[in-house]
Amino acid sequence: MSEWIEIGDLEDVPRRGARCVGVPGLRLAVFRTQQDQVFAIENRCPHRGGPLSEGIVHGASVTCPLHNWAFDLETGRAQGADAGEVRTFAVRIVAGRIQLALGELMRVAAE
Amino acid sequence: MKEKLVIIGNGMAPGRMLERLFETDPDRYQVVIFNAEPRVNYDRIMLSPVLSGEKQFEDIIIHGDAWYIEHGITLYKGCKVERIDRETRTVHSVNGISETYDRLVIATGSVPFIIPVPGKDLAGVVTYRDLDDVHAMMLAAKSRGRAVVIGGGLLGLEAAAGLNDQGMDVTVVHIMPTLMERQLDAAAGYLLAEAVKARGIKLMTSANTRQIVGETRVTGVELADGTILPADMVVMAVGIRPNAALARDAGLAVNRGIVVDAQMRTSDPAIYALGECVEVEGQVFGLVAPLYDMAGILAAGLLGEPAEFVPVATATRLKVTGINLYSAGDFAEGEDREEIVLRDATAGVYKRLVLEHDRIVGAVLYGDTGDGAWYFDMLRKGTDTRPFRDTVIFGQAYQGGTPLDPMAAVAALPDDAEICGCNGVCKGKITGAIAGKALSSLDAVRAHTKASASCGSCTHLVEQLLHLTLGDRYNPAAVQPICPCTGYGHDDVRRLIIAKALKSIPAIMQELEWRTSCGCAKCRPALNYYLLADWPGEYVDDSQSRFINERVHANIQKDGTYSVVPRMWGGVTSPRELRAIADVADRFAIPAIKVTGGQRIDLLGVKKQDLPAVWADLNAAGMVSGAAYAKGLRTVKTCVGSDWCRFGTQDSTGFGIRLERFMWGSWTPAKVKLAVSGCPRNCAEATCKDIGVICVESGYDIHFAGAAGLEIRGTELLCHAGSEDEAFEIVVALTQLYREQGRYLERIYKWAKRVGTGSIRAAVVEDRERRRHYFDRFAFSQRFAQIDPWQERVNGRDAHEFAALAEFGPPVAAQ
């Protein structure tokens, strides 16, 4: 993992909330939990394409606003009886700033 | 060519017969069914809960349309057969449809017995047999008039209880001195009569009906002693008799019922009969267990494996919520008979066992019926009770030196032991479904297997199987927890929020020992609402615990865009508002504009980032959020009332606007839609709303608890108000009561059904002081609620919601 790109301040994302990140060719959202863990996942529910960034964040999970599928933010896997997965992305916090791995983003966006 | 099997009748007996047939050989016959009722097969035993409002028709369907399609059955609904031509093996229906048969099954059931008194044909005299009868009764009950039920047997009492639940003034007229005398002895009949009277149902026993009085419609019932009971409806529930007319006309042997042998064959070898229409060895049958036995026998016969029907004792259970009654067998006194009786007056328990040569031949249980199945099992098997004669009356749990574990008894049953007689579900099917489908509640087992979903008498067995299969994971607590994060139900949480003065979501989770660190998408929105409703002005809304629509004050659409609905007070608008809407649609290229059912305009397809600017333009024209997304006050629909309409009795538009101006912004457990109609023609469709007002010459009829969505329900009349101010106060107080008692996402009609209209009326109609308190609490809460959420966001609140955290340009080609 070579290059990291800064996308904003940790404080810009509400606790138990999410923000979208605009990357051409990709729907991406960054989530922040109550405990200030940060996750980046594809902002698209595999069920009907719902924007997961608009869902309710609980623990390290999010529930899709359209039909209540819940996903583990860390693994991207659907929980409970539903089967499906969203792509997860590397993300880190450096001095209160959120950083994404640029190479991975470029690669996925180009797919 | 397959043999063609034609069935006349589509009740529970032929339905069960076909299930058995298809289980063994689904392709043996081409099946055609004629059903005089215009519907699929349903559980007739469960009509009483439908009448009382505890269940809907959908809940009692046994075979849905898909089942008939799946098995390639031709089902003629609403198609009554008028003639069987045995020469040509053809049945003819009144609709002109005819079908030939290779084999014919007659399952025409029974018809209600109509006592031959003058007036029996008057309008308003109904029977209690099928869904149409139930609908007729429910419709008549809307008037909340007086009903007389003739017949104090099982059917009559269930009808009386249902009509009483529907708000009618009910009198039961019974010819015998005690109720249900065929199933109960006098002592149990007395206890039953007391319980029935305690519900407000009047009883006239030893009462003989002389005639039914009325010109064209029923106005009353006259008894033999000259007493006249006023009545708007009379229900005849004195019994049933086999419906054998069709068979008789066809020349088949008929006595009381269609005569069949032990293999269900009639006097014509190509024709079979089963169910309530038949007579076997001089006996006719009305309870479901023997009918299901017949179904199995006939299915076997049709498959070429003849078996013999042997009538056995049957058990009866009264399906009236709150009255526990069980009877089985024969309990007449006799020389070689003994009895064991247990009475506990305080607990309202009466048990009586009748024994003959130390074997149980009859059992009557009142109050505590848990051991019914155990006694019945011994009755059928002829178990010798001598080894435990001293304690048999105390029940199964008291047997032997060591207390018998009821679980052990269930555990010992083989997998093919039948648990649910009504639906023919065996133990293996239930435990298989519990394990295979991860079921954890009684309701789930009922949904998947139908076990205990009919009469409910095997409920305890199904619960034991849940316990056996799941161990400690099965929690039969009657209270359904809010979600897996807690063991508390909604009502407990609401109570404890007040009692312990819990004023934040973390405080609730800490004090009530939530199992998760920060809840889930089910409990958090509920807790947020409860705190907002209970601590107005103190609790700060937690936007991260709201569903997206309430967080961004617009409705998310399937493509992730939003719809925007500005308020139009009472559905009244102006050129200025319409211009502003048109301009905003142009400016932001909003792709769709639609008029809603609530008399407003919906702008669809707005991009999320445009929302604040769209709202700013609408605000500038004086419009605020219509809260079309909220669990809160939505619309107040009105008609033009006395302002314009030649029929209008009051200013319905003005009253609707007054209500909306006062109530907008309030949060409620689920959405609340109001309407005000200016006259009983009801152009604002007030009688399917959460709260609806119908103006009349003398004032305002206040209705509530309607629904017109997933469920369709007409409203109930709450009360009449003489003035607009009084109506206003009642509507507001009613809403506040609902805000304080409702469970999150529970609509007004469900809340009303749960708590009872009587308690609501007592709180906001009859007690003016209490009404005023509710009104004042609502008014106080509005001080913090009537802030336009759009305006706040135009001014910068929650700006992070409407913009991306970061935007990147198009990808740069890799070097």
pLDDT tens for residues B91-143?
999 989 999 999 999 999 999 988 899 999 998 999 988 888 998 888 888 87
What is the model's pLDDT at position B664?
96
Across the A/B interface, how many CB contacts are shorter than 8 Å? Answer: 93
Residue B102 structure tokens: 């290779």
HEC profile for B166-178?
Answer: CCCEEEEECCCCC
Contact A34 B520 (CB under 8 A): no
Residue B287 has pLDDT above 50, yes or no: yes
Chain B contact probe: residue of A9, A54, A63 with most B CBs at under 10 A: A54
DSSP symbol at B123? B
Residue B285 has pLDDT above 50, yes or no: yes
The single residue listed with the structure tokens 């078996």 is B307
Contact A14 B544 (CB under 8 A): yes
For residue B150, which amino acid is it? Answer: I
Q: In angstroms, what separates the C-alpha of B524 from chain A's closest C-alpha?
A: 9
In this prediction, residue B813 has a pLDDT band, given cuts at 50, 70 and 90, of: very low
What is the model's pLDDT at position B477?
54
Q: Which residues of A touch B543 (CB under 8 A)?
A: 14
Q: Which residues of B touch A78 (CB under 8 A)?
A: none
User: DSSP per residue over B53-122, as a string?
Assistant: TSS-GGGGEEE-HHHHHHTT-EEEET--EEEEETTTTEEEETTS-EEE-SEEEE---EEE-----TTTTS
Residue B698 has pLDDT above 50, yes or no: yes
Residue B312 has pLDDT above 80, yes or no: no
Contact A63 B805 (CB under 8 A): no
Contact B547 A14 (CB under 8 A): no
What is the model's pLDDT at position B435?
85
In this prediction, residue B198 has a pLDDT band, given cuts at 50, 70 and 90, of: confident
With a pLDDT cut of 70, the percent of chain B lying above it is 96
Contact B560 A34 (CB under 8 A): no
Task: State the first-to-last Cα distance of chain A, in angstroms, to the nearest integer.
Answer: 19
What is the model's pLDDT at position B810?
60
| Cα–Cα distance, A107 to B125 (Å, whole number) | 78
Q: How large is the average pLDDT for residues B710-728?
A: 92
Residue B752 has pLDDT above 50, yes or no: yes
Report yes or no: B126 and B159 within 8 Å, Cβ to Cβ: no
Per 3-state DSSP, chain B is made up of helix, strand and coil in percentages (nearest 5) of: 35, 25, 40
Q: Where are the beta strands (DSSP E) in B607-690?
A: 633-638, 672-677
Residue B387 structure tokens: 């080894």
Q: How large is the average pLDDT for residues B162-189?
A: 87
| Cα–Cα distance, B805 to A11 (Å, whole number) | 11
Total residues found in chain B within this entry:
815
What is the model's pLDDT at position B488?
87
- Domains delineated in chain A: 4-110 (2.102.10.10)
| Cα–Cα distance, B85 to B89 (Å, whole number) | 6
Around B199, how many Cα atoms within 13 Å sit in the side-chain half-sphere?
26
Of B516, B549, B560, the CB nearest to A51: B560
Q: In angstroms, what separates the C-alpha of A93 from chain B's closest C-alpha?
A: 15
Report yes or no: B129 and B240 within 8 Å, Cβ to Cβ: yes
Q: Which residues of A touch B560 (CB under 8 A)?
A: 49-51, 54
Ranking B11-15, B265-269, B425-429, B685-689 by mean pLDDT, the lowest is B425-429
For A75, residues 6+ apart whose C-beta sits below 8 A from its C-beta are A85, A88
Contact A110 B811 (CB under 8 A): yes
Task: State the first-to-last Cα distance of chain B, in angstroms, to the nearest integer.
Answer: 74
Ranking B388-397, B504-513, B525-534, B547-556 by mean pLDDT, the lowest is B388-397
ipTM score of the complex?
0.91
Residues of B with CB under 8 A from a CB of A: 516-521, 524-525, 543-549, 551-552, 556, 558-560, 800, 804-812, 814
Of B517, B518, B800, the CB nearest to A12: B800
| Cα–Cα distance, A47 to B715 (Å, whole number) | 38
Contact B800 A21 (CB under 8 A): no
| Cα–Cα distance, B478 to B456 (Å, whole number) | 16
pLDDT tens for residues B223-254?
999 999 999 999 999 888 999 999 999 999 99
Higher pLDDT, B149 or B815: B149
Contact B811 A106 (CB under 8 A): yes
Distance of CA B142 to the CA centre of its chain: 17
Helices (H) and strands (E) in chain A, counts: 1, 10
Distance of CA B497 to the CA centre of its chain: 31
Of A58, A68, A110, the CB nearest to B518: A58
Contact B808 A22 (CB under 8 A): yes
Task: Give pLDDT tens digits along chain A (111 positions).
Answer: 468 999 999 999 999 999 999 888 888 999 999 989 999 999 999 988 889 999 999 999 999 988 888 999 999 999 876 788 999 999 999 999 999 988 888 888 777
The single residue listed with the structure tokens 């003739």 is B150
What is the model's pLDDT at position B679?
94
Closest CA to B409 of B459, B434, B374: B374
Chain A contact probe: residue of B448, B505, B543, B544 with most A CBs at under 10 A: B544
Report yes or no: B671 and B631 within 8 Å, Cβ to Cβ: yes
In this prediction, residue B479 has a pLDDT band, given cuts at 50, 70 and 90, of: low
Q: ∠ at Cα B565 (B562, B571), nearest 5°? A: 160
Q: ∠ at Cα B758 (B193, B134), nearest 5°? A: 60
pLDDT tens for residues B14-52?
999 998 899 888 889 999 999 998 888 888 888 888 888
| Cα–Cα distance, B614 to B172 (Å, whole number) | 64
What is the model's pLDDT at position B812?
47
pLDDT tens for residues B485-496?
888 889 889 989
Which chain B residue has the Cα nearest residue A21? B806
Q: How large is the average pLDDT for residues B184-194?
A: 83
Residue B57, classified by CB atoms within 10 Å of its CB into exposed (0-12), middle (13-18) or buried (19+), is middle
Report yes or no: B618 and B790 within 8 Å, Cβ to Cβ: yes
Of A14, A66, A70, the CB nearest to B800: A14
Mean confidence (pLDDT) of chain B: 89
Contact B516 A59 (CB under 8 A): yes
Q: In angstroms, what separates the C-alpha of B814 from chain A's closest C-alpha?
A: 9
What is the model's pLDDT at position B263?
92
Around B244, how many Cα atoms within 13 Å sit in the side-chain half-sphere?
24
pLDDT tens for residues B589-618?
999 999 999 999 999 999 999 999 999 999
For residue B266, which amino acid is it? Answer: T
The single residue listed with the structure tokens 């992305």 is A89
Q: Which residues of A touch B440 (CB under 8 A)?
A: none
User: DSSP per residue over B236-272, as a string?
Assistant: E-S-EEE--HHHHHTT--BSSSEEE-TT-B-SSTTEE
For B558, residues 6+ apart whose C-beta sits below 8 A from its C-beta are A48, A66
pLDDT tens for residues B68-77?
988 899 999 9
Name the phi and psi angles at B780, rounded to 5. Answer: -65, -45
Of A16, A61, A109, the CB nearest to B811: A109
Residue B815 has pLDDT above 60, yes or no: no
Q: Which residues of B touch A15 (CB under 8 A)?
A: 544
Strand partners, B212: B221
What is the model's pLDDT at position B310?
84
In this prediction, residue B446 has a pLDDT band, given cuts at 50, 70 and 90, of: confident
pTM reported for the whole predicted model: 0.54
Residue B730 structure tokens: 């009642």
Report yes or no: A63 and B547 within 8 Å, Cβ to Cβ: no
Which chain A residue has the Cα nearest residue B801? A19
| Cα–Cα distance, B400 to B625 (Å, whole number) | 71
